[in-house]
Amino acid sequence: MIDIHCHILHGVDDGASSLEEALEMARMAAFSGVTEIAATPHFRGEREFLEERALQESRYQELKEALERWKIPIRLHQGAEVLCLPQTVELAEMGELPTLGDTNYVLTEFYFDESFDFMDEILEQIALNGYRPVVAHPERYASVQREPRKLHRWAREGYVLQLNKGSILGALGSRAEAAAHELLALGLAHLIASDAHSSYTRTPHMSEVQRWAEDACDPECAEILLRENPKRLLQGRGMFGES
């Protein structure tokens, strides 16, 4: 499996608190069948927060070297989870949004009570500036929980929709669980990721959600959500049949 949303970098946000915990998260992920992880620390989408990228890049290199030293079989990719604000459009226009690996995919998030219209406008502006939005955990947004079918619009625009493992398994509340299951039933999910924050709660262990997807959908669907589409994304390819 390939996990494109994981707060595994140590000491940069509310994810891994130390290098030792980051390595434990990597071991846990590898044990559950994960082979690649995109490290996606929180990044507030405003100009003054660009300086945070230097620390995130330093911790990325430190973790990458430690994985090699301890022979933990995880391939690490650089990334970020961008909190979208009105000022985020300026960063998109500057070409300064952090992307997933060496692609033009941007992992985006919003405040959970944000309006659908605001999210729609920001995503449109990000796309107009040459990026491909990946919407993190849409099932957690109140406006999506009220009307999951609205995401047909985002799918038509080519936005990638990533569900959280915890939402699917009921660990993030009944509303997020119901919305995640409906989005899957509607064919409005392209990826499942861990959104892991630690080695003891919201972990990067993925085998349980893999089994759930194989049973609730089918093995081919699980393969697409957990391996094929994440691989295409990190190769800079499309989710919708395009190269």
139 is a domain residue? yes
pLDDT digits (tens, 9 = 90+) for 156-177: 999 999 999 999 999 999 999 9
240 is a domain residue? no
Our CA angle for 128, 131, 135, nearest 5°, is 105
179 is a domain residue? yes
With cut-offs at 50, 70 and 90, classify the pLDDT of residue 239: confident
Strand ranges across the sheet with 191-193: 42-44, 81-83, 105-109, 132-136, 160-164, 191-193
φ and ψ at residue 133, rounded to 5 degrees:
-70, 135
pLDDT digits (tens, 9 = 90+) for 40-58: 999 999 999 999 999 999 9
Contacts of 87 (CB under 8 A, 6+ apart): 45, 46, 47
pLDDT digits (tens, 9 = 90+) for 109-119: 999 999 999 99
Would you say 113 and 146 are in contact if contact means Cβ atoms under 8 Å apart?
Answer: no
243 is a domain residue? no
37 is a domain residue? yes
Question: Which of 160, 164, 196, 157 has the alpha carbon at shortest distance from 179?
Answer: 164
Percentage of the chain with pLDDT > 70? 98
Q: Locate 150 and state its tokens.
A: 């609205």
Provide the residue range defining the domain that includes 218: 2-234
46 is a domain residue? yes
Decide: pTM greater than 0.85: yes
242 is a domain residue? no
Give burial (CB, 10 Å; 0-12/13-18/19+) of 220. Answer: exposed
CA dist., res. 188 & res. 135, Å (int): 11
241 is a domain residue? no
The count of domains in the chain is: 1
The CATH number of the domain where 70 resides is what? Answer: 3.20.20.140
